[in-house]
Amino acid sequence: MPEYEYLSGFGSHFTSEDARFPNALPEGQNSPQKCPYGLYAEQLSGSAFTAPRTENTRSWLYRIRPSVVHQPFKRFEGTAPFLRGTDWEEQHPNPNQMRWNPFDLPADGKEVDFVAGLHTVCGAGDVRGRHGLAVHVYLANCSMKDTAFYNSDGDFLIVPQQGPLDITTEFGRLYVKPNEICVIPQGMRFSVALEGPSRGYILEVYDGHFRLPDLGPIGANGLANPRDFLTPTAHFEDRSVDGYRIVSKFQGALFVATQGHSPFDVVAWHGNYVPYKYDLARFMVINSVSFDHCDPSIFTVLTCPSNRPGTAIADFVIFPPRWSVQEHTFRPPYYHRNCMSEFMGLIFGRYEAKEGGFLPGGASLHSMMTPHGPDHRCFEGGSNAELKPERIADGTQAFMFESSLSMAVTRWGEETCQKLDARYYECWQALEKHFHL
Provide the b/e sequence for 22-37 (b: ≥16 CB within 10 Å). Answer: eebbbeeeeeeeebbe
Question: How many other C-beta atoms are found inside a 10 Å radius of the C-beta of residue 66?
Answer: 13
Stretch among 76-85, 189-198, 228-237, 264-273 having the lowest mean pLDDT = 76-85
pLDDT of residue 229: 98
When pLDDT is averaged across residues 368-390 and rounded to a whole number, the result is 94
pLDDT of residue 108: 86
Mind listing the pLDDT tens digit for each residue in 176-187?
999 999 999 999
pLDDT of residue 354: 63
Element (H, E) at 246: strand 240-250
For residue 79, name the pLDDT band (cuts at 50, 70, 90).
Answer: confident
Which pairing describes strands 276-279 and 300-305: parallel, antiparallel, or unpaired? Answer: unpaired
| Catalytic residue numbers, as ranges | 293
Known binding residue 131? Answer is no
Mind listing the pLDDT tens digit for each residue in 325-367?
999 999 999 999 999 999 999 999 988 756 667 899 999 999 9
pLDDT of residue 422: 95
| Mean per-residue pLDDT over the chain, rounded | 95
pLDDT of residue 3: 78
When pLDDT is averaged across residues 181-199 and rounded to a whole number, the result is 98
Percent of the residues in the chain that have a pLDDT greater than 90, as a whole number: 93
pLDDT of residue 78: 81
Mind listing the pLDDT tens digit for each residue in 124-154?
999 999 999 999 999 999 999 999 999 999 9
* pTM of the predicted model over 0.95: yes
Q: Which amino acid is residue 222, in one-letter code?
A: G
Element (H, E) at 379: helix 376-384
Listed by start position, the domains of the chain span: 284-428
pLDDT of residue 351: 81
Mind listing the pLDDT tens digit for each residue in 229-280?
999 999 999 999 999 999 999 999 999 999 999 999 999 999 999 999 999 9
Going from the C-alpha of 176 to that of each of 18, 163, 165, 183, 242, the distances in angstroms are 21, 9, 5, 10, 29
Exposed/middle/buried for residue 228 (C-beta within 10 Å: 0-12, 13-18, 19+): middle
Whole-number Å distance between alpha carbons of 163 and 26: 39
3 state DSSP class of 114 = coil
Residues of the chain by 3-state class (helix, strand, coil), percent to 5: 10, 40, 55
Whether the per-residue pLDDT at 2 is higher than 80: the answer is: no
When pLDDT is averaged across residues 393-416 and rounded to a whole number, the result is 96
pLDDT of residue 353: 59
Whole-number Å distance between alpha carbons of 184 and 174: 10
Known binding residue 372? Answer is yes
Known binding residue 351? Answer is yes
When pLDDT is averaged across residues 45-59 and rounded to a whole number, the result is 96
pLDDT of residue 355: 63
What is the number of residues in the chain? 437
Can you give 265-329 as a three-state secondary structure string? CEEEEEECCCCEEEEHHHCECCCCCCCCCCCHHHHEEEEEECCCCCCEEEEEEEECCEEECCCCC
Whole-number Å distance between alpha carbons of 117 and 401: 20
pLDDT of residue 289: 95
Whether the per-residue pLDDT at 1 is higher than 60: the answer is: no
For residue 157, name the pLDDT band (cuts at 50, 70, 90).
Answer: very high
* Angle at alpha carbon of residue 216, lines to 210 and 218, rounded to 5°: 105
Indicate the class that CATH gives domain 284-428: mainly beta
pLDDT of residue 357: 75
Going from the C-alpha of 152 to that of each of 189, 205, 208, 235, 322, the distances in angstroms are 10, 11, 13, 23, 38
CB 41 within 8 A of CB 67: no
For residue 324, name the pLDDT band (cuts at 50, 70, 90).
Answer: very high
